[in-house]
Amino acid sequence: MRSRGNIKMRLIIGGAIILFAYIQYCSRTEVNEYTGKKQHISLTTEEEIAIGLQSAPEMARQYGGLYPDQEAQGLVKTIGKKLVASSVARETPYNYEFHLLRDPEIVNAFALPGGQVFITYGLFKRLQNEDQLAGVIGHEIGHVVGRHSAERIAKQDLTQGIITGVMAGTEGTGQMATMVANVINMKYGRTDELESDQFGVKCMIDAGYNPYQFIEVMNILDEASGGQSVPEFSSTHPSGPHRIEEIKSAILANGYVAPVK
């Protein structure tokens, strides 16, 4: 009887932990005034900026520091500032800074919360023109404006609460809870990428860049990955063909007309 009572008590405690985490997650809801999207956010914009500034030096170190060519650095910064000035990003409270990282092999670009944007030389050297570079940077600005990092942090708090509750209730290893958490976070990542693609397209158009060059960026990324396709549901990013179709739809939705040569 005592063993059965202990199991019941563990289940009650575990359920309470999960319920508390869920209520806390749902209570932290606000509308992003720049995108109109309803979001679960646990950080203030000031906290986002502080996290980004504190994390930037370590992120740069992991990629070998900044690329030493000042002309290339200047190009990244110039295009980044132009995109911010031409978009709703200029109305946000974030301090946008743009960095070209030294790593010549890793093909990557990312944004930290609060406006710190990075692109590796491994990706930079593969790009063929400024329009493509604008597409990459515009996409990353979209992550900042969309507050995707802050959303992810809030969701990770919920995930941790679920894992803690399941482990408390079952005395298990948390394997099943971890699997559930992974599914939750994978779906979230794909949505972020598509939203940032759409923002990047509009950002490019408003700044005078050719948005169709962003499709070429997708082809470059596909080539860099060796052309290996990953099942869309299992990936944190949308698959190539679907992502390209979404980009084309965004271009048409923004009424882009190619300039006459």
Q: Number of C-alpha atoms within 13 angstroms, CB side, residue 190?
A: 19
Q: In angstroms, how far is CA 218 from the centroid of its own chain?
A: 16
**Cα 213–219–221 angle (5° rounding)?**
110
In a domain, 261, yes or no: no
pLDDT value at 209 more than 60? yes
d(CA 174, CA 159): 12
pLDDT value at 170 more than 50? yes
In a domain, 1, yes or no: no
> Considering only 75-79, 212-216, 236-240, 256-260, which range has the smallest mean pLDDT?
236-240
> Tokens 């972020």 label which residue?
192
Query: What average pLDDT does the chain have?
Result: 82
- Work out the average pLDDT over 51-55: 90
pLDDT value at 214 more than 70? yes
Residues contacting residue 60 through CB under 8 Å, at least 6 positions apart: 66, 99, 101, 118
Domain count, the chain: 1
User: What pLDDT is attached to residue 25?
Assistant: 59
For residue range 18-28, list pLDDT tens digits in order: 666 557 656 66
In a domain, 25, yes or no: yes
CA distances from 220 to 141, 213, 226 (A): 20, 11, 10
Asked if 232 and 190 count as a contact pair (C-beta separation under 8 A), the reply is: yes
Higher pLDDT, 186 or 146: 146
Asked if 134 and 69 count as a contact pair (C-beta separation under 8 A), the reply is: no
In a domain, 120, yes or no: yes
Tokens of 70: 């000042």
In a domain, 258, yes or no: no
Asked if 106 and 93 count as a contact pair (C-beta separation under 8 A), the reply is: no
Using a pLDDT cut of 70, give the percent of the chain over it. 72
CA distances from 34 to 37, 146, 252 (A): 8, 8, 21
Q: Which domain holds residue 204?
A: 9-253
In a domain, 84, yes or no: yes
Enumerate the H helices of the chain as residue ranges. 2-27, 45-62, 70-85, 121-124, 130-145, 148-170, 175-207, 212-224, 240-253
Reduce the DSSP state of residue 259 to 3 states and report it. coil
Asked if 167 and 177 count as a contact pair (C-beta separation under 8 A), the reply is: yes
In a domain, 172, yes or no: yes
In a domain, 159, yes or no: yes
